A and B are shown apart, each in its own frame.
Chain A
Amino acid sequence: MRVINFAHGDMMVWGMYLAWLLATRLGIDPYLGFVGCAAALFVVGLVVQRGLVDRIVDAPHEMQILLMLGVALVLENGALLAFGPEPQRVRSALTLSTFWLGPLFVDVARLVTFAVAVALSLALYLFLFGTDLGRTIRAAADNAYGALVIGADVRRVYAVAFGIGAACVGAAGALVSPFLPFQPSAGLAASVTSFNIVIIGGMGSLLGAFVGGLLVSVAESLGAVFLAPSLKELVSFSLLILILLFRPAGLFGRRAG
Chain B
Amino acid sequence: MRWAALAALGVLIALPAVVGSYTLTVLIFVFFYAYLGQAWNIVGGYAGQLSVGHAAFVGIGAYTAAMLSLGAGLTPWLGMFVGGALSAALGAVIGYLGFRFGLRGFYFVLLTVAFAEICRIVALNTEAIGGAQGLYITFTGNPRQFQFPDNRAYYYIALGLMLAATAVVWTIERKRFGIYLTAIREDEDACQALGVDTFKYKMLAMVVSSFLTGVGGTFYAFYLFSLQPNTVFGIPLSVEIVIRPIVGGAGTLGGPILGSFILSPLAELSRFYFARGGWSGAHLIVYGGLLILVVLFLPQGAYPYLRRLLARRA
Is there an interface contact between A74 and B50, defined as CB atoms closer than 8 Å? no
Is there an interface contact between B279 and A240, defined as CB atoms closer than 8 Å? no
Residue count of chain B within 8 Å CB distance of chain A:
43
With A78-B285, A245-B101 as given contacts, are A56 and B295 in contact (CB-CB < 8 Å)?
yes
Is there an interface contact between A231 and B121, defined as CB atoms closer than 8 Å? yes
A239 to chain B, nearest CB (A): 9
Is there an interface contact between A71 and B288, defined as CB atoms closer than 8 Å? yes
With A62-B105, A77-B281, A81-B285 as given contacts, are A237 and B50 in contact (CB-CB < 8 Å)?
no
Is there an interface contact between A73 and B103, defined as CB atoms closer than 8 Å? no
Residues of A contacting B109 with CB < 8 Å?
65
Residues of A contacting B284 with CB < 8 Å?
73, 76-77
Is there an interface contact between A81 and B279, defined as CB atoms closer than 8 Å? yes
In A199-242, the 8 Å CB interface with B consists of: 228, 230-231, 233-234, 237-238, 240-241
Is there an interface contact between B279 and A80, defined as CB atoms closer than 8 Å? yes
CA distance A98 to B114 in the complex (A): 38
Chain B CB within 8 A of A67 CB: yes
Chain B CB within 8 A of A137 CB: no
Is there an interface contact between A245 and B291, defined as CB atoms closer than 8 Å? no
Is there an interface contact between B121 and A80, defined as CB atoms closer than 8 Å? no
In B112-132, the 8 Å CB interface with A consists of: 114-115, 117-118, 121-122, 124-125
CA distance A217 to B107 in the complex (A): 21
Residues of A contacting B296 with CB < 8 Å?
52, 55-56, 67
Residues of A contacting B246 with CB < 8 Å?
66
Interface majority SS on B: helix, strand, loop or mixed?
helix
With A69-B52, A84-B279 as given contacts, are A195 and B101 in contact (CB-CB < 8 Å)?
no
Q: Which of B101, B115, B282 has the most CB of A within 10 A?
A: B282
Chain B CB within 8 A of A28 CB: no
Is there an interface contact between A230 and B105, defined as CB atoms closer than 8 Å? no
Is there an interface contact between B50 and A81, defined as CB atoms closer than 8 Å? no
Residues of B contacting A78 with CB < 8 Å?
285
Closest to B279 in A: A81
With A56-B296, A81-B279 as given contacts, are A61 and B106 in contact (CB-CB < 8 Å)?
yes
Is there an interface contact between B106 and A65, defined as CB atoms closer than 8 Å? yes
Closest 3 CB pairs of A and B: A73-B288, A70-B291, A74-B288
- Which residues of chain B have a CB within 8 Å of any CB of chain A? 48, 50, 52, 97, 101-107, 109-111, 114-115, 117-118, 121-122, 124-125, 235, 239, 246, 274, 278-279, 281-285, 287-292, 294-296, 299
26 contacts between A and B (CB under 8 A): A52-B296, A56-B295, A62-B105, A65-B50, A65-B106, A67-B295, A70-B287, A70-B290, A73-B284, A73-B285, A73-B291, A77-B284, A77-B288, A80-B281, A81-B282, A192-B117, A230-B121, A231-B121, A234-B121, A234-B122, A238-B114, A238-B118, A240-B110, A241-B111, A244-B101, A248-B107
